[in-house]
């Protein structure tokens, strides 16, 4: 990755953590994608290793407030619900 892409990844991570804290979402970060994980994703046709390089993976879910002391994800949320992208004309 070039420096521009690395900076974008860091900004995305910072925004994601802020949103996670604001909306009480559980956040799981896969900071380092190991070769075995990359092979798994390629084997299951989730990522084409010829086109893409995975630097950071994130999974979001709501806190399960019905179980005291736990924070298991209850429901996956869509990208549209998590981040609203405004288009300016």
1 and 33 Cβ atoms separated by less than 8 Å: no
The domain limits of the chain are 3-82
Q: State how far the Cα of 69 lies from the Cα of 62, in Å rounded to an integer.
A: 14
Which tens digits make up the pLDDT trace of 51-81?
776 666 666 665 666 766 555 555 556 666 6
Q: Percent helix, strand, coil in the chain (nearest 5)?
A: 35, 15, 50
Banded pLDDT at 45 (limits 50, 70, 90): confident
Q: Phi then psi for 51, rounded to 5 degrees?
A: -110, -35
What integer pLDDT is reported at residue 51 of this predicted model? 79
DSSP assignment letter at 25: E
Share of the chain above pLDDT 90, in %: 0
What integer pLDDT is reported at residue 36 of this predicted model? 73
């Amino acid at each position: 990755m070039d420096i521009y892409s690395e900076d974008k990844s860091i900004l995305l991570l910072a925004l994601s953590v802020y949103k996670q804290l604001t909306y009480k979402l559980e956040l799981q970060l896969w900071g380092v994608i190991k070769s075995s994980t990359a092979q798994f994703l390629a084997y299951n046709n989730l990522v084409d290793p010829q086109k893409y390089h995975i630097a950071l993976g994130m999974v979001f879910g709501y806190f399960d407030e019905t179980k005291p002391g736990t924070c298991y994800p209850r429901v996956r949320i869509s990208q549209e619900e998590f981040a609203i992208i405004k288009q300016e004309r």
